[in-house]
Amino acid sequence: LFRSFTLCALHFSSTMATQSQAKELFRRAEAVCFDVDSTVIREEGIDELAKFCGVGDAVTEMTRRAMGGSMTFKAALTERLSIIRCSREQVNKLITDHPPQLTPGIRELVDCLHQHNIKVFLISGGFRCIVEHVAAQLNIPRDHVYANRLKFYFNGEYAGFDESQPTAESGGKGKVISTLKKQYGFKTVVMIGDGATDLEACPPASAFIGFGGNVIRSQVKEKSSWYVTSFSELLKELEKI
């Protein structure tokens, strides 16, 4: 019975019982999917890229407008990238000069999940070249990374992004989780993240854990049956397995 049931924010209103159910689902998960920006890493990849390319303020302003309005994820990404227009060289230099900062405790948590044979995936609206760098540090295989792909012309200039990736769409994280469930036959998949797009991935995710260790988004916090501000809280739960 437990296996087939989904524990997502909007389906429950009481907190105590649902939190213990979320914990139970986390302990029995076959796969755990992490958002990357402001979850696995401390910052937002696209903001760092914009700053590095000298258009930080313009992109921050654009992000604010996109979040308040009715713009689709893809439209917002297109607009921001059309301001940034980063070259391949700039992206590579960003990774070398300002490598993404791992959130404290993520390494221990991912190691522990792997020790328990729980599969770990990264699902990001950010960019594959940056997310793969993060995955490598956490011993997460490349084929467990779902993110957007930047495109470059042969001379390295910005040429857009791959619009066919599920992560380029609103609701894309949920689509990836559905695909994982089919592909690997997972019954219990837990999504962890700081943002609304992470929360929206449940369902199809079996449970959602809100993460507020880098930024606290009050709408996400309110709707999360289990909300943590440190990965050590999750590690503690795994010790009960």
Min dist. Cβ of residue 206 to Mg ion (A): 20
DSSP for 20-56, written as a single string: HHHHHHHHH-SEEEE-IIIIIBSS-HHHHHHHHTT-H
Q: Looking at beta carbons only, is 194 or 200 nearer to Mg ion? A: 194
Kindly identify the residues of this chain, within the stretch 179-198, that bind Mg ion according to CB under 5 A.
194-195
User: Using an 8 Å Cβ cutoff, are 137 and 95 in contact?
Assistant: no
57: annotated active-site residue: no
Q: Least distance from C-beta 22 to Mg ion, angstroms?
A: 19
Closest separation between CB of residue 137 and Mg ion, Å? Answer: 18
Q: Out of 18, 38, 148, 225, point to the residue binding Mg ion (CB under 5 A).
A: 38
231: left (phi over 0), alpha (psi -120 to 50) or beta: alpha
DSSP letter, residue 182: H
**CB closer to Mg ion out of 21 and 38:** 38
Check residue 200 for interaction with Mg ion (CB under 5 A): no
Q: Token digits for 71?
A: 């713009």
User: Phi first, then psi: what are they for 126, rounded to 5°?
Assistant: -85, -160
Q: Which is nearer to Mg ion, 45 or 204 (CB)?
A: 45
In whole angstroms, the minimum distance from the beta carbon of 52 to Mg ion comes to: 19
Binding flag, residue 48, Mg ion (CB under 5 A): no
When binding is defined by CB under 5 A, the residue of 37, 74, 95, 161 that contacts Mg ion is: 37
Strand-strand pairing, 119-127 and 145-148 = parallel
Residue of 75, 88, 81 whose CA lies nearest to 50: 81
Among 18, 21, 25, 35, binds Mg ion (CB under 5 A): 35
Q: Which of 37, 111, 143, 162 is catalytic?
A: 37
**19: which residues sit within 8 A by CB, 6+ positions away?**
225, 226
Q: Encoding tokens for residue 47? A: 């903001």
Residue 35 is among the residues annotated as catalytic for this protein: yes
What's the min distance (Å) between Cβ of 37 and Mg ion?
4
Q: Which sequence positions are flagged as catalytic? A: 35, 37
Give the footprint of Mg ion on this chain (CB under 5 A): 35, 37-38, 194-195
